[in-house]
Structure 1
Amino acid sequence: MKFTDFNLKESIQQAVTEAGFTEPSPVQQEAIPLVLDGHDMIAQAQTGTGKTAAFGLPIMSMMEADGSVEGLVIVPTRELAMQVSDELYRFGQKSGLKTATVYGGTAYGKQIDRIKQASIVVATPGRLQDLLESGKIKISPKFVVLDEADEMLDMGFLDEIKNIFKFMPKDRQTLMFSATMPKAIRKLAEEILEDPKTVSITKSETTNTKIAQQYYVVQEHERDDALVRLIDYKNPTKCIIFCRMKKEVDRLVAHLTAQGFKVSGLHGDMEQKQREVTIRAFKQGGIDIFVATDVAARGLDVNDVTHVFNYHIPFDSESYVHRIGRTGRGGKSGEAITLVSPNELRTIKRIEKDVGTQMSTEIIPTRIEVQNAKASELISKIAETRVTEGAINLVKTLQHDLDIVTIAHLLASMIQEENEVKGKDKIGLNHEEIAHALERSREDRGNKNKGRGRQRRRRDDRNRNESGGDRRPKNRNRSGGGSGRDSRNAGRGSNRG
């Protein structure tokens, strides 16, 4: 299927073509026709599956650009608000559709002015509720979208969302997108959607087949060395490193900066302006490496991310899918690399099973292997370099004191020094050691299960001994009142009386 099959408005289709999109993702393929037919919809799809285009393209195709706010998109975080707004602006600019981004921590005045000029408002729940309840804005959108609904509920925004919908017109088309479908989401859907159609993208469809997934087994103390070695070896154009904690982000940024990388971090303690500057620098190429926590990177949509590194394995499978979805976008290929300790091998195997994917087990290259690879790259680069007039003059000057071979050796030494691979030669486990670690992991699990079985049997034996070997449940007796022991005691009491 092609995007042209949807028969979108000409100006929208033109923007899609210019963005380089040709084939829709599974969620786009299912959702766009339903939205164009005017249905309310609830869609279950992970981050990174193309949800923004799935709701943005059809609603913008139906908008009239009449000077009013025709579309409202509610999202959980500022970062996601900016990302969604940027993408919708890109699709809508040829149609004269402007977007306004609304979130807390910035002046009301500017946001209100932008809303007055906008066709689409992308907002976080808290600030949007404030603007509506205070009467600072009055909008009647034809299309209302809840994006990452489960995330908003997890963040405690349920009351705000319910209040916001009190201000929405009854005659509207409502779309809800959520990665998971807990009871609270289904209940909310019943309240705000009318006879909705359902779209569900399965786990196998959420994992982009163009993302090569690998894991490397290292000892806990080797993580930093392994990360630097792999960055040297993979030579990513643009990459994101995921950490679990804020303090880990700060420490890794300092460590990688000291190694000479162009790196910056993103976590929840950063001020909004600083976050915006950092994300912009990463998008525009001022920073090559982005170190972030899961929460800070939620909704982060940056093109051309070639590699994702999991410094620590994520806590759950959904986080893994979310993380690796930062690469391999727009039909491009990408690599997802995870560092795991021998104790975490069971977890990586569980994630493989949950996600329905197969990760390859790789060995961290030695220092010599990386050095040789860099030397080959360097030779190719030198051969392709254009000779400049300045370089010719420099060599002529050097020839007053040195012969041409010595000059070449000196210049090559300078370049090699800059490209020197540091650190110990061997990092991490080899294939044989990984196989042993996996076997131990299975044995440990088997022993734990046996231990649980023994505990259960001992508990059952104790229960049988306490009840005098009677296998019947304690609350069953022929007279129907209390246990046998209670009846006997009651009998003895009455005889004594």
Structure 2
Amino acid sequence: MVHFSDFALHKSIQQAIHDMGFEEPSPIQEQCIPKILEGGDLIGQAQTGTGKTAAFGLPLIEKVTGQNAVQAIVLTPTRELAIQVSGELRKIAKYKKVRTLPIYGGQSIGHQIRALKQGVQVVIGTPGRVLDHLRRKTLHLDQVKMLVLDEADEMLDMGFQEDIESIIRETSTDRQTLLFSATMPQEILRLARKYMQDPQTVSISRKEVTAPTIEQVYYKVFERSKLESLCRIIDSEELELGIVFCRTKRGVDELTEALQERGYMASGLHGDLSQAQRDKVMKSFRDSTIELLVATDVAARGIDVGNVSHVINYDIPQDPESYVHRIGRTGRAGRRGIAITLVTPREMKQLRTIEKVSKSTLESRNVPSIEEVLERQQTIWRQQLVSLMDGEHELAPFMQVVDGLHEDYPVDKIAAAALSLAFSSTLADDASETYDFGETGASRGYVRFFINIGRSLDIRPPDLIKEMTELVGISSKAIGKIDIFENFTFIEVSEDVAPFVYEAMRNSRIKGKRVNVEPAKPRAKRT
């Protein structure tokens, strides 16, 4: 087993590593640190959350001297990531006289200019603001010995390629260049060929990123009861900090408002927020003043908060790559994390694609019942009440109300009514789908459906079972009797999955034909 003490790092950095609580290097740290210390160029392919900041940060701080010049520059796609990387490097340099400075848009450029004039050894910045300083000649990169491109694919996606190349040309040709990226599109490879010299490559597989610390589950939900399902799930989980992903900015606003109305400590984050609003939300999240951060994919770029216990995909990601990026926000630094995805009937195919491409298997769970949520909430309420009674909280005004009511009602009823008044708003509404299919002529415990496809499409029972289990995500055991005719079919499914089957199969396609599903009419009684 490799330990940080095995690396050729100064004792001051080893002490900082100990203070930061690092026990053993992650796979990317183990492979990158020795290679970077040797001095060659390096390409690191790894997802967010693998420990790549320390992978380049430890050797970077090791190599920086006390010379009063910018000796290393780290380019990041967002101001949030610049701040986080700067904070990490500052911790690593705790016992070494090295000054780091994050520079980014949205902050006073005058403040940055003054800090640069005082002298810094390491600059961490976004391409736009770094280029701004270069044009003003308030930043000089001719003494740079190490250039780091962090989350390079994100920077190119955001249109920073020309800025990055302009910055690279301002640095010395004998620099060491490090490039870190989750994906390796052709644009990244072209950039590497143009500006790097015989780079070594370190690639960390997705398996090492997501397993075993991230538990991945999904809940089958209906669109119209999605919010209630989410609240049930949150109430049944031991959530510390959670990021809830929505597809659109409007979706973020609507969900944030709905959660706040239900008493959850939630704030939204998306591209329409001003920088001051964005900073305020992120500070509240890092300080745990809010427990749920509702965000779009773009807004969440660069967020690196270590104690996120839950990532919740309220809207299923558009592609497997986005899914892996999202779930990488939890399970950091060896902590356990859980990634929860809400899946509507028509999104089951997308879920299967995500599982296949990301080589993940998501466990299926049922949305907790109101009884299960109540059982968990009762334990929490009890703890809160005991804390109030054992603490030094001022209860006198409430005791006066209790004394007045006690003349007409028993104390236990007064207490129960008070609990109902205090906590009933935190309970989610009924999250189940209220379909009444009526009498369909099915066997007991089943619902019988009419489907407009039959033998003319060369459909056999095993074909139909396979299509339904893949399309709807149900067990074949939930499928009962199947009667296939020339142009239509009758099929029985278990009552508990019937609503999901109905939603998922309506307007789907089987063997190219659009499927129409209707509750079957009762069989005519024989006379």
Q: TM-score, normalised by structure 2?
A: 0.78
Between 1:176-185 and 1:60-69, the stretch displaced more is: 60-69
Aligned to 1:25: 26
Alignment of 1:6-25 (within 5 A): 6-25=7-26
Query: Aligned AA for 1:121?
Result: V
Q: Compared with structure 1, are the counterparts of its residues 93 and 417 closer, same or farther at alpha carbon in structure 2 (3 Å cutoff)?
A: same
Per the TM alignment, residue 450 of structure 1 is displaced from its structure 2 partner at its CA by: 4.2
Task: Report SS of the residue matched to 2:299.
Answer: helix
- Partners in 1 of 2:311 and 2:26 — Cα distance? 21
Per the TM alignment, residue 106 of structure 1 is displaced from its structure 2 partner at its CA by: 3.3
1:285 aligns with 2:288: yes
1:322 aligns with 2:353: no
| Equivalent residues of 1:72, 1:145 under 8 A apart | yes
- Partners in 1 of 2:469 and 2:48 — Cα distance? 31
Per the TM alignment, residue 112 of structure 1 is displaced from its structure 2 partner at its CA by: 1.8
| Equivalent residues of 2:348, 2:471 under 8 A apart | no
Cα offsets for 1:213-242 (capped at 9, x unmatched): 110011111211111221122141211111
Q: Which has the higher helix share?
A: 1
Alignment of 1:250-399 (within 5 A): 250-380=253-383, 382=385, 387-388=390-391
Q: Compared with structure 1, are the counterparts of its residues 255 and 450 closer, same or farther at alpha carbon in structure 2 (3 Å cutoff)?
A: closer
Which of 109, 119, 122 pairs up with 2:121? 119
- Partners in 1 of 2:104 and 2:81 — Cα distance? 10
Per the TM alignment, residue 301 of structure 1 is displaced from its structure 2 partner at its CA by: 0.9
Between 1:107-116 and 1:341-350, the stretch displaced more is: 107-116
- Partners in 2 of 1:136 and 1:380 — Cα distance? 57
Cα offsets for 1:261-310 (capped at 9, x unmatched): 12111111111122112111110122111111111111101121111111
- Partners in 1 of 2:196 and 2:37 — Cα distance? 16
Per the TM alignment, residue 385 of structure 1 is displaced from its structure 2 partner at its CA by: 6.4
Alignment of 1:396-475 (within 5 A): 402=406, 406-407=410-411, 409-420=413-424, 421-427=426-432, 438-441=469-472, 450-451=511-512
Cα offsets for 1:108-167 (capped at 9, x unmatched): 221122233322111111221222133232132111101111122222221111111111
Per the TM alignment, residue 439 of structure 1 is displaced from its structure 2 partner at its CA by: 4.2
Per the TM alignment, residue 337 of structure 1 is displaced from its structure 2 partner at its CA by: 0.7
Query: Aligned AA for 2:72?
Result: G
Query: Aligned AA for 2:210?
Result: T
1:205 aligns with 2:198: no
| Equivalent residues of 1:208, 1:325 under 8 A apart | no
Per the TM alignment, residue 413 of structure 1 is displaced from its structure 2 partner at its CA by: 3.6
Cα offsets for 1:321-355 (capped at 9, x unmatched): 11111111121111111101111112112211222
| Equivalent residues of 2:349, 2:470 under 8 A apart | no
Per the TM alignment, residue 169 of structure 1 is displaced from its structure 2 partner at its CA by: 0.8
- Partners in 1 of 2:511 and 2:391 — Cα distance? 73
Which of 154, 176, 197 pairs up with 1:194? 197
- Partners in 2 of 1:397 and 1:61 — Cα distance? 66
Query: Aligned AA for 1:33?
Result: P
| Equivalent residues of 1:238, 1:289 under 8 A apart | yes
Aligned to 1:99: 100
- Partners in 1 of 2:421 and 2:403 — Cα distance? 25
Q: Compared with structure 1, are the counterparts of its residues 439 and 392 closer, same or farther at alpha carbon in structure 2 (3 Å cutoff)?
A: closer
Aligned to 1:56: 57
Query: Aligned AA for 1:149?
Result: A
Q: TM-score, normalised by structure 1?
A: 0.83
Aligned to 1:226: 229
Cα offsets for 1:62-86 (capped at 9, x unmatched): 2223332121001112222122222
Task: Report SS of the residue matched to 1:84.
Answer: helix
Structure 2 residues not aligned, in runs of 5+: 435-445, 448-464, 474-503, 514-527
- Partners in 1 of 2:383 and 2:209 — Cα distance? 38
- Partners in 2 of 1:235 and 1:360 — Cα distance? 18
- Partners in 2 of 1:99 and 1:374 — Cα distance? 46
Task: Report SS of the residue matched to 1:212.
Answer: strand
Task: Report SS of the residue matched to 1:419.
Answer: helix
Query: Aligned AA for 1:106?
Result: Q
Per the TM alignment, residue 188 of structure 1 is displaced from its structure 2 partner at its CA by: 0.9
Q: Compared with structure 1, are the counterparts of its residues 192 and 424 closer, same or farther at alpha carbon in structure 2 (3 Å cutoff)?
A: same
Q: Compared with structure 1, are the counterparts of its residues 36 and 316 closer, same or farther at alpha carbon in structure 2 (3 Å cutoff)?
A: same
| Equivalent residues of 1:48, 1:322 under 8 A apart | no
Aligned to 1:482: none
Q: Compared with structure 1, are the counterparts of its residues 224 and 437 closer, same or farther at alpha carbon in structure 2 (3 Å cutoff)?
A: farther
- Partners in 2 of 1:173 and 1:77 — Cα distance? 23
Aligned to 1:456: none
Query: Aligned AA for 2:120?
Result: A
Q: Compared with structure 1, are the counterparts of its residues 217 and 10 closer, same or farther at alpha carbon in structure 2 (3 Å cutoff)?
A: same
- Partners in 2 of 1:396 and 1:159 — Cα distance? 69
Per the TM alignment, residue 87 of structure 1 is displaced from its structure 2 partner at its CA by: 1.8
Task: Report SS of the residue matched to 2:95.
Answer: helix
Alignment of 1:53-202 (within 5 A): 53-116=54-117, 117-139=119-141, 140-202=143-205
- Partners in 2 of 1:169 and 1:418 — Cα distance? 65
- Partners in 2 of 1:451 and 1:263 — Cα distance? 44
| Equivalent residues of 1:374, 1:419 under 8 A apart | no
| Equivalent residues of 2:28, 2:55 under 8 A apart | yes
Q: Compared with structure 1, are the counterparts of its residues 399 and 415 closer, same or farther at alpha carbon in structure 2 (3 Å cutoff)?
A: closer
Cα offsets for 1:17-62 (capped at 9, x unmatched): 2222112221111111111111110111112211111111111122
Q: Compared with structure 1, are the counterparts of its residues 49 and 387 closer, same or farther at alpha carbon in structure 2 (3 Å cutoff)?
A: same
| Equivalent residues of 1:141, 1:169 under 8 A apart | yes
- Partners in 2 of 1:392 and 1:83 — Cα distance? 43
Task: Report SS of the residue matched to 1:296.
Answer: coil
| Equivalent residues of 1:208, 1:328 under 8 A apart | no
- Partners in 1 of 2:236 and 2:364 — Cα distance? 16
Q: Compared with structure 1, are the counterparts of its residues 392 and 152 closer, same or farther at alpha carbon in structure 2 (3 Å cutoff)?
A: closer
Per the TM alignment, residue 245 of structure 1 is displaced from its structure 2 partner at its CA by: 0.7
Task: Report SS of the residue matched to 2:233.
Answer: helix
Per the TM alignment, residue 371 of structure 1 is displaced from its structure 2 partner at its CA by: 0.8
Identity %: 42
Task: Report SS of the residue matched to 1:56.
Answer: helix
